[in-house]
Structure 1
Amino acid sequence: MTLRATSSSRGLGRLEKTDARGELSGRAFARAREELARELYAEMNRNVFGGALPPDLDIKWTPYLRSTAGTTHYKRTQRVGEAPVYHARIELATKVLDTAAKLRRTLCHEMCHVAAWLIDHVAKPPHGAHFKRWARCAMERYPDLDVSTCHNYDIHYAHRWQCGACRREYGRHSRSIDPNKHRCGGGCGGQLTYLGRSNPDGTPCKARTPSAYNAFVKDNMAVVRSELGAGTPSREIMKELSQRYRASKAQLNEGDSARRAAQGDAPPTADELEGAMRRLDLL
């Protein structure tokens, strides 16, 4: 099986925790992106489109857009004897938009499409005269904003592999490349090596310490699956693992209590508490 090469990206942001360059960190941006998108939409609707776009336009984030930053969906409905009604909604890519700067530029681009449809009632060609007119309005209001006819971003892929022969790199959003099955598609057919997971700024992700439950599942999965037999549904296997984990945890807690009691750390009895209270009354 052959693969095609991919690229990486940089970032810019403004809320919560920032990196050394003053840019919004990946997780902080992910937590803030919905609120930030609504704030940017309201601001640009007011400053660029004169408030002519719906204040509650449907804006959704989706993980299914992987090669484009955003898209606008159009719909036109009309009842007999009534004027047509124009609808629009915007989808934004969680896999591509990882910084506030990309979000701002992409959202403005899609809002120009929305304006061309809802105000001018024109959708084709997608980047025709009506789109470009609204794009010029946006760039006049925001000179630092480049509203082009395409979303020209380097996409950040968290997982990367490199060919040992030609040094070509491959990126994926998930760890979907198996070096035992895949080879370089650049013509050399070289062996691929996993480079690890990285943040949007290129720094390696810190390894996460697995929780006690995850460690228990990893250590006992094979045993439980073998005991329950082939064909057992995954939910039944996980249910059994959860029950065993709770039992194991309860047993450990009982052992800790017994050790504390043996060391003289047992909790006081009711008689001991009553005696202590009487002594306090005498003080």
Structure 2
Amino acid sequence: MTNRETETTICATNKISADRDARKAFEIAKHDIAQSFLQELDKVITQGRLSELAETTGGIRLSWTNKLNTTAGRANWKRETVRTRNPDGSEASIRYRHHASIELAEKVIDDQHRLLNVIAHEFCHLANFMVSGITNNPHGKEFKVWAAKCSRRFGDRGIEVTTKHSYDIDFKYVWECTSCAMEYKRHSKSINPDRHRCGACKNPLKQTKPVPRAGARKPSEYQTFMKEQMRLLKEENPKTPQKEIMRRVADRWSSREAASVDEVAVGIEHLDLDGADGSESRTA
């Protein structure tokens, strides 16, 4: 390897290490960053109006979820009407309780820039719901007014609120059709090329991320036995608990192993008795 190639390899390794450290630091700090920026948005953009409206229900709740796979965030709002009545049954007063929350996608938001922009976007939705009273046109002109305010006030921090989250989601697994090059992206290894085909042209798929290691290990004899026996026992005993099924399979494996040991022992004994030269032998 030349000096230049060595330097390139070192630089690439250092970048990977730096990216890994940055992700770890973000994971530790992201909850505090999100809460702090939400409070700042409310104070600067709506003069604390959202916190005031949601105070009786515990304020605006922030939560991180693994269930959002294709969008970075979601704003949730509900207005509860509370009526009080006089002793004669007439209505005395009406008040409203605002339930507001923002969900943030664990699998999509992977850096601070994206986090701040997602919170700003969802904050504008809540402002649109709770202050402007718009519930049937989430990205209409009123939303755009709130978006412009946020972008103008926090533009120096990279905030630009648009009508949608235009992020490239970093999926952990990717498969590609061997014929039409259609890609299938997932957060988990939920596609099996041996069983699944391209939905567009029905041709085989190949995994491209991460690239499978060559010469994948075959299942061991024990794994094959367990899989087959689990299937058989479940078919024979559909109402039997999983724990009991596993115990029975383990017993079958133990019995099989014991039988194998006996067979080996008998074979060795025969060899000892017969002798290598065909003569009888004994040991004391």
Band the TM-score falls in, shorter-chain normalisation? 0.5 to 0.7
Q: 1:67 to 1:21 in 2, by over 3 A?
A: closer
Alignment map for 1:98-247 (pairs within 5 Å)? 98-143=110-155, 144-187=158-201, 189-197=202-210, 231=237, 232-236=240-244
Q: 1:35 to 1:239 in 2, by over 3 A?
A: farther
Q: Secondary structure at the match of 2:138?
A: coil
RMSD over aligned Cα atoms: 3.6
Q: Secondary structure at the match of 2:117?
A: helix
- Partners of 1:136 and 1:83 lie apart in 2 by 31
Cα offset, 1:68, TM superposition: 1.8
Alignment map for 1:65-76 (pairs within 5 Å)? 65-76=68-79
Corresponding residue for 2:45? 48
| 2:63 corresponds to 1:63 | no
TM-score normalised according to structure 2 size:
0.60
Unaligned runs of 5+ in 2: 1-14, 84-92, 213-219, 250-284
TM-score normalised according to structure 1 size:
0.61
| Matched AA of 2:188 | S
- Partners of 1:171 and 1:137 lie apart in 2 by 35
Cα offset, 1:236, TM superposition: 4.8
Unaligned runs of 5+ in 1: 1-16, 199-203, 205-214, 242-283
Q: Secondary structure at the match of 1:73?
A: strand
For the Cα contact (< 8 Å) 1:18–1:24, is it kept in 2? no
Highest relative contact order (Cα 8 Å, sep 6+), 1 or 2?
Answer: 1
Q: Secondary structure at the match of 2:207?
A: strand
| Matched AA of 1:173 | H
- The one-character-per-residue Cα deviations of 1:70-129 (angstroms, maximum 9, x if unpaired) are 111221111222133333211122232222222111110110111122223322311123
Q: Secondary structure at the match of 1:82?
A: strand
Q: 1:238 to 1:136 in 2, by over 3 A?
A: farther
Cα offset, 1:171, TM superposition: 1.0
Sequence identity of aligned pairs in percent?
A: 34
- Partners of 2:162 and 2:231 lie apart in 1 by 58
For the Cα contact (< 8 Å) 2:60–2:99, is it kept in 1? no
Greater helix percent: which structure? 2
- Partners of 1:21 and 1:181 lie apart in 2 by 35
- The one-character-per-residue Cα deviations of 1:205-261 (angstroms, maximum 9, x if unpaired) are xxxxxxxxxx9x9699559959988645334567899xxxxxxxxxxxxxxxxxxxx
Q: 1:37 to 1:196 in 2, by over 3 A?
A: same
